Amino acid sequence: MALIPRSSAAAALLRPLSSAAATASGIRHVTTDTTPITIETSVPFTAHNCEPPPRSVTTTTAELLTFFRDMSLMRRMEIAADSLYKSKLIRGFCHLYDGQEAVAVGMEAAITKSDCIITAYRDHCTFLGRGGTLLEVFAELMGRQAGCSKGKGGSMHFYRKEAGFYGGHGIVGAQVPLGCGLAFAQKYSKDETVTFALYGDGAANQGQLFEALNISALWDLPAILVCENNHYGMGTAEWRAAKSPAYYKRGDYVPGLKVDGMDVLAVKQACKFAKEHALKNGPLILEMDTYRYHGHSMSDPGSTYRTRDEISGVRQERDPIERVRKLLLSLDVANEKELKDIEKEVRKEVDEAIAQAKESPMPEPSELFSNIYVKGLGAEAFGVDRKEVRVTLP
């Protein structure tokens, strides 16, 4: 990211806030300075069948500081989840998002909570961005009642319907048709909102994705398919799984845009462009060029199919948090100590949330049978007499 004009807002100094100032989501604005400044994205957008948005992005020092804090909070949360898993306090599956934080944060900066997001199983940070709390995150990861899915969903099934977040899905690619269904509902209700359906490069070859995209294009649905291309599926490099790894072109008849997914401002600009496009013209594909630092899941060391030098190289050259840190320092918005203070405060918030989550009880055994059927939607709703239903077990 490169600065274009230097603003008087750059002289504003950061004031570290106390924990009491935290919002319900655990993410806070650290300054109120909203003087517009213009930043140029790190690399140009690459477009397919559409005109790309400009590289010059309008932002403020308040927003940049919020980006830094939000991504730092997400990074610390995921690192803590890694430790909790290794301590056997988190069981089952767990897919971490560290390295990809700019996608979740930049997307939120461009849309509203009336817009919908649906994603795969790497969902913790997306949930937090949608207004979820750290307590809900850690409690769900540890299977406790205070979790966002009451401790019954675990890492792959986060959910926050009131904020337009529809999961958290464990079946590879299955969330994309559901997202296009959400977009159909949005068009039907004429509420001028869109759905972002996120999937990885590993899911990009799923047939259901192309079926959903086809009908979305036929019906001009406000669906935005977002390929979070972190370059490795389940231990497999993209070039080994895809003959054409230019995922933004995969729609053929649907426009696409390749975005530097490690540049939070580029993500913001692209998602703003995508929303405007989808409301007028129908679906669009966004390919976010990003990277995951951890392995695919906790059972994957992440170092057998790529070198440690590659991982450290991305950290040094493209890390989304470090990019914003350098930008804030160059703007004289904050100094190194003040940014370190934010990171210390974030670490404290995460530690406090973990302690609270550990105090939350496990779900009652009776909860095993809840949230399975909705009254009125059982067999009787379809004219079937329960007495006539026979189930034979082996």
Q: Which pLDDT band holds residue 387 (cuts at 50, 70, 90)?
A: low
DSSP-derived secondary structure for 72-124? HHHHHHHHHHHHHHHTTSS-S-----TT-HHHHHHHHHHS-TTSEEE--S--H
Q: Would you state the pLDDT for residue 371?
A: 80
Q: Which pLDDT band holds residue 389 (cuts at 50, 70, 90)?
A: very low
| Token pair of 169 as six digits | 């899905």
- Reply yes or no: is the peptide bond before residue 168 cis, omega within 30 of 0: yes
| Token pair of 280 as six digits | 């007028």
Mean pLDDT of 89-104: 97
CA-angle at 125, arms to 318 and 289, nearest 5°: 35
Spatial contact of 224 and 283, defined as CB atoms under 8 Å apart: yes
Cross-strand partners of 259 = 288
Query: What are 156-167's pLDDT values in tens digits?
Result: 999 999 999 999
Spatial contact of 278 and 284, defined as CB atoms under 8 Å apart: yes
Mean pLDDT of 319-327: 98
Spatial contact of 43 and 251, defined as CB atoms under 8 Å apart: no
The CATH superfamily assigned to 2-388 is Thiamin diphosphate (ThDP)-binding fold, Pyr/PP domains (3.40.50.970)
Task: Give the DSSP H or E segment for 259.
Answer: strand 256-260
Of the candidate ranges 47-51, 107-111, 252-256, 364-368, the one whose mean pLDDT is the lowest: 364-368
Mean pLDDT of 51-73: 97
Alpha-carbon span 389 to 379, nearest angstrom: 9
Q: Would you state the pLDDT for residue 376?
A: 67
pTM of the predicted model as reported, rounded to 2 decimal places: 0.87
Which stretches within the chain are classed as H helix?
61-86, 101-110, 124-129, 134-141, 175-189, 207-218, 238-241, 264-281, 308-318, 320-330, 336-359
Is residue 118 left, alpha or beta, with left meaning phi > 0 and alpha meaning psi from -120 to 50? beta
Alpha-carbon span 51 to 54, nearest angstrom: 9
Ordered by start, the domain boundaries in the chain are: 2-388
| Token pair of 152 as six digits | 């019954």
Task: Give the DSSP H or E segment for 56.
Answer: strand 56-59
Is residue 372 scored above 90 in pLDDT? Answer: no
Q: Three-state DSSP class for 64?
A: helix
Query: What are 292-310's pLDDT values in tens digits?
Result: 999 999 999 898 999 999 9
Alpha-carbon span 257 to 347, nearest angstrom: 35
Query: What are 249-272's pLDDT values in tens digits?
Result: 999 999 999 999 999 999 999 999
% of the chain with per-residue pLDDT over 70: 87
Which amino acid, 264? V
Alpha-carbon span 256 to 107, nearest angstrom: 16
Question: What size, in residues, is the chain?
Answer: 394
Mean pLDDT across the chain: 89
Alpha-carbon span 125 to 139, nearest angstrom: 15
Question: Smallest Cα–Cα separation from 117: which of 177, 165, 171?
Answer: 165
3-state helix, strand, coil in the chain (%, to 5): 45, 10, 45
Give residue 181's Cα distance to chain centre.
Answer: 19
Q: Would you state the pLDDT for residue 340?
A: 97
Spatial contact of 200 and 233, defined as CB atoms under 8 Å apart: yes
Q: Which pLDDT band holds residue 40 (cuts at 50, 70, 90)?
A: very high
Which residues have CB under 8 Å from 238's CB, separation 6+?
Answer: 201, 229, 231, 232, 245
Q: Would you state the pLDDT for residue 8?
A: 35
| Token pair of 130 as six digits | 């949608």
